[in-house]
Amino acid sequence: MNKNFNIVIVGTGGQGLITLNKILAVAATKEGFDVKTSELHGLSQRGGSVETHIRFGKKIFSPLVKEGGADLVISLESQEAFRACYYGSNEKTIFLINDYIIPILTGDKKTELSSSANEIKKFSKEILLIPATKVVEKEFQNPVLAGIYLLGVAVSKKLIPLKIETVVKAIKEVVSPKYLNLNQKAFELARYQ
Amino acid sequence: MGKFLLNKPGEKLILLGNEAIVRGALEAGVQFVSTYPGTPASEIGNTFSQIAKDAGVYFEFSTNEKVALEAGAGASFSGQRVLVAMKDFGLNVASDFLIPLCYSGVKGGMVILVADDPSCWSSAQSEQNTRAFAYLAHIPILEPSTPQECKDFIKLGFELSEKFEIPILIRTTTRVSHQSAPVVLDKIIKRNKKAEFVKNPRKFSTMPPRVLEMKQELLDKIEKIREFSEKSSLNQIARGQTSGRLGIITSGVSYLYVKEAMEELNINLPVLKLGFFHPLPEKKIQKFIKNLKKVLVVEELEPFLEKEIKILAKDTNPCLPAGRQNLQISGKSHLSQIGELRPEQVISAVSKFSGKKTNFDFARHRQEFSNLKITKRYPQFCPGCPYWFVFPTLRRIVPKDTIFGGEIGCYMLAVYPPHRLQDYLYCMGSSVGIAHGIKKSTKQKLITFVGDSSFFHASIPALINAVFNKSSPLIIILDNRTTAMTGHQPNPGVGKTGMGDTAPEIKIEDIVRACGVKNLKVVDQQNVKEFEETVKDFLEKEEVSVIIARHPCKFVK
């Protein structure tokens, strides 16, 4: 890998972004890369829009991905993918989007992804829409696993330049023993779909 | 959590800036840690809360930041190494004590960690720049950029503090405290020196006329630390190549964006990275700018560095002979004073400064992005939060023109839709004081909110004031049995200390009653009818009335 790799994960507070961030950071370190991440805690975690950044490569300075600088956007909720367009560019960015909407409590009209995916195209090289929440709810009755499932998709489709074995090891290190088995299962499920 | 206590020098761990601060304190042999939770500093207390016993360190969640600092000072006066951690607003609360503490100085090494939150990701009330305390309190301030520096600077902070007998402030920002990166571990040190307070009123009593001598001693110390700062590797010059005699001065997380920008633009300008904000290494700065034509200062928020450097430049680069240009120093003409810096802003600023074009058309990208219609997703009360039973009920039953007062805690989310129910909102402890002033001035109905932790933090003097001065607000204390917003830390009402020991459970109703409040009722707001009737009844009272709406946060075990 010659260039640094930049990932932005977006979603809403409580969807487990920080854990995904940590798994990727640990995996990248295991493969000998320099790594930096940025995350937000507190007020912004309370069900509002959240984003985390992970960058790895030979030498990383900024913890934040620059505007238009994402190689991969993982969106755990489909409306949040629009917000992530800030980091997207049609030259390189791949959008991996959970086909799942968490309604916004404003009374405003909600945006349907299917009718607006065209707008994301301007900011992306490729869009992958995956029914992650639907799958993990059916298999495990647990929507929080959508994140690890999407990570499984990203790694097995080689959207992230990290080896599957390393990510598997990182999951084991990062996820608490209580939830490890479920997370491993959700990750595996994504690999073989 | 065992990872913080690993004693394997040389091992690399991925740590959050805040975790690196914990590790740094342990490697410096910290013995006493106090804090009041506040994001982006919260994980420091949370981590100590989990490891203090195993680490052999005393840890407490204090009732507020001023008390935390005073407690820390007492331990330092007794010879202990002390870390006090807080968010930016906490230092305002602590400042009444901080300023004289800098006069007297300390004994055991004392580091005060203050986390600023540019862009207000987790902060209501204001966007604060703690660097200003260098001017107000004369306190030395160090600014790390990365988790590794967080650890290194904390350790140096302890050394400096003990050597010069002065508290050292380490200032982080959200992107430093919540940045994670590999950190190389060193050995954890255990200090077993017996603590003892040795009487020395000349040092610890800040009375005039002695206090003015102390001020002189403080200023002298700062000059000695400046000499250290001049030689310190924390202030480092990276030589570069520049045909136009350009240079950049920066610090904190901004330094990382400068490095990123130079990579992006494929240039290598000389950079002076300042680890010390106060005292500044003036000679080093003068040496750096001496032969330059243009200097760009890259810093977040107010242009404190830019102003300092402009003053220094007047001496270093006096008017040149006709035909030659004076040194130009710029900063805030390229970068905003509001909000955190982001890499793309620094790339654009360095691009303009150096005349080197970017490969990416940021302006066009931003234009296209601003054409997207994006609905704002506000933070919300969690599903199952007991506060869902408070605000809709009040909206339904009280007269439409009732004033609602708020402050800091989860209940401030009531400012957002669908509630939109906070007519004023300022710092912790302020809601009762303001309510009193409004009730003394108008006949309008008013309900003001306080949380359990913020009641203990700063609301009690305001409550006493309201009773003493015969005021009549209705105060609703939302007692969810925890300090929820910052990550569920215990407070004096819950019967548990920061180290997990049982403690006397201080009852809010006992305090309220002791303050002379006659109209007092404790209700569970999930008993909607009782809550409703109490509110209606108390809203008509002509004296102070207090409802304690008690129902635990759903995350309280």
Q: Does A177 touch chain B (CB under 8 A)?
A: no
B368 to chain A: closest CA residue: A122
Give B437's contacts (C-beta < 8 A, 6+ positions apart): none
Residue given tokens 């007998």 in the structure block: B165
Together in a domain, B86 and B179: yes
Domain presence at residue B377 = no
What is the residue range of B323's domain? 236-370
A120 to chain B: closest CA residue: B372
pLDDT at A192: 79
Tell me which residue in B40, B368, B417 faces A122 most closely, judged by beta carbons.
Answer: B368
Together in a domain, B30 and B137: yes
Together in a domain, B227 and B241: no
CA–CA distances in Å: residue B116 to residues A72, B132, B169, B181, B278:
30, 12, 12, 20, 16
Give the whole-angstrom CA distance, residue B530 versus residue B516. Answer: 23
Domain CATH number, residue B17: 3.40.50.970
Segment B162-176 mean pLDDT? 98
Together in a domain, B359 and B478: no
Q: Name the burial class of residue B390, with classes exposed (0-12), middle (13-18) and buried (19+) by CB atoms within 10 angstroms of its CB.
A: buried
Give A100's contacts (C-beta < 8 A, 6+ positions apart): A76, A77, A78, A131, A132, A133, A134, A146
- H or E stretch including B116? strand B110-116
pLDDT in tens, B195-212: 999 999 999 999 999 999
Give the whole-angstrom CA distance, residue B169 versus residue B110. Answer: 9
Together in a domain, B433 and B524: yes
User: Chain B: nearest CA to A144, how far in angstroms?
Assistant: 15
Residue type, B2: G
Give the whole-angstrom CA distance, residue B528 versus residue B276. Answer: 56
Instruction: Determine whether the interchain pair A67/B365 forms a contact, defined as Cβ–Cβ distance below 8 Å.
Output: yes
pLDDT at B321: 55
Instruction: Determine whether the interchain pair A61/B259 forms a contact, defined as Cβ–Cβ distance below 8 Å.
Output: yes
Most confident by average pLDDT, A42-51, A138-147, B237-246: A138-147
Q: Which of B232, B231, B224, B269 is nearest to B250 (CA)?
A: B269
Interface of A with B in 82-141 (CB under 8 A): 82-83, 85-86, 89, 104-108, 110-111, 119, 122-123
Domain presence at residue B97 = yes
DSSP 8-state assignment for residue B423: S
User: pLDDT band for position B164 (50/70/90)?
Assistant: very high
Right CATH for A5-191 from 2.40.50.100, 3.40.50.1360, 3.40.920.10, 3.30.450.40:
3.40.920.10
Q: Is the pLDDT of residue B549 over 90?
A: yes
Domain presence at residue B556 = no
Backbone angles phi, psi at B515, to 5 degrees: -80, -5
Segment B431-443 mean pLDDT? 98
Together in a domain, B410 and B529: yes
Instruction: Determine whether the interchain pair B360/A34 forms a contact, defined as Cβ–Cβ distance below 8 Å.
Output: no
pLDDT at A43: 72
Sign of torsion, CA B316 B319 B321 B322?
Answer: positive
Going across the sheet that includes B110-116, the strands are B58-61, B32-35, B82-87, B110-116, B168-173, B141-142, B276-278
Q: Are B26 and B150 a contacting pair, CB within 8 Å? A: no
Pairing mode, strands A126-130 and B179-184:
unpaired
Q: Name the burial class of residue B372, with classes exposed (0-12), middle (13-18) and buried (19+) by CB atoms within 10 angstroms of its CB.
A: middle
User: pLDDT band for position B72 (50/70/90)?
Assistant: very high
Tell me which residue in B146, B257, B365 faces A68 most closely, judged by beta carbons.
Answer: B365
**Domain end residue (candidates: B231, B248, B267):** B231
* Peptide bond between residue A103 and the one before it cis (omega within 30 degrees of 0): no
CA A72 centroid distance within chain: 8
B184: helix, strand or coil: strand
Domain presence at residue B319 = yes
Domain CATH number, residue B278: 3.40.50.920
User: Chain A: nearest CA to B145, how far in angstroms?
Assistant: 10
CA A16 centroid distance within chain: 10
Spell out which residues of chain B touch residue A14, defining contact as CB-CB under 8 Å: 382
Mean pLDDT of chain B: 95
Tell me which residue in B253, B374, B378 faces A48 most closely, judged by beta carbons.
Answer: B378
Together in a domain, B543 and B415: yes
Q: Does B174 touch chain A (CB under 8 A)?
A: yes
pLDDT at B537: 97
B520: helix, strand or coil: strand
Segment B165-188 mean pLDDT? 97
Together in a domain, B416 and B325: no
Instruction: Determine whether the interchain pair B379/A47 forms a contact, defined as Cβ–Cβ distance below 8 Å.
Output: yes
Together in a domain, B351 and B446: no
Q: Are B73 and B66 a contacting pair, CB within 8 Å? A: no
**Count of domains observed in chain B:** 3
pLDDT at B1: 52
Together in a domain, B465 and B338: no
- H or E stretch including B278? strand B276-278
Structure tokens at B71: 């407690």
Residue given tokens 């300008």 in the structure block: B269
pLDDT at A54: 98
pLDDT at B376: 83
Question: What's the number of CA atoms in the CB half-sphere (13 Å) around residue B339?
Answer: 6
DSSP 8-state assignment for residue B413: G
Give the whole-angstrom CA distance, residue B69 versus residue B77. Answer: 12
Q: How many CB pairs below 8 A link A and B?
A: 157
- Give the rounded percent of residues in chain B with a pLDDT score beyond 70: 98
User: pLDDT band for position B4 (50/70/90)?
Assistant: confident
Listed in sequence order, the DSSP H helices in B390-527 are: 391-397, 430-441, 452-454, 460-468, 508-514
Interface of A with B in 13-42 (CB under 8 A): 13-14, 21-22, 25-26, 29, 34-42
Together in a domain, B145 and B280: no
Q: Which of B157, B170, B325 is nearest to B228 (CA)?
A: B157
ipTM of this complex prediction, to 2 decimal places:
0.94
User: pLDDT band for position B512 (50/70/90)?
Assistant: very high
**Domain end residue (candidates: B181, B196, B231):** B231
pLDDT in tens, B268-308: 999 999 999 999 999 999 999 998 999 999 999 999 999 99
Q: Which of A131-140, A162-171, B7-16, B361-370 has the lowest mean pLDDT?
A: B7-16
Q: What is the pTM of this model?
A: 0.96
pLDDT in tens, A80-137: 999 999 999 999 999 999 999 988 765 455 555 555 678 899 999 999 999 999 999 9
Q: Is the pLDDT of residue B239 over 60?
A: yes
Together in a domain, B66 and B142: yes
User: What is the 3-state secondary structure of B172-218?
Assistant: EEHHHHCEEEEEECCCCCCCCCCCCCCCCHHHHCCCCCHHHHHHHHH
pLDDT in tens, B354-376: 999 999 999 999 999 999 988 88
pLDDT at B528: 96
Domain presence at residue B138 = yes
User: pLDDT band for position B319 (50/70/90)?
Assistant: low
Structure tokens at A23: 């798994």
Q: Is the pLDDT of residue B317 over 70?
A: no
Give the domain ranges of chain A: 5-191
Q: Is the pLDDT of residue B329 over 70?
A: yes
Spell out which residues of chain A touch residue B265, defining contact as CB-CB under 8 Å: none
**Domain end residue (candidates: B163, B198, B231):** B231
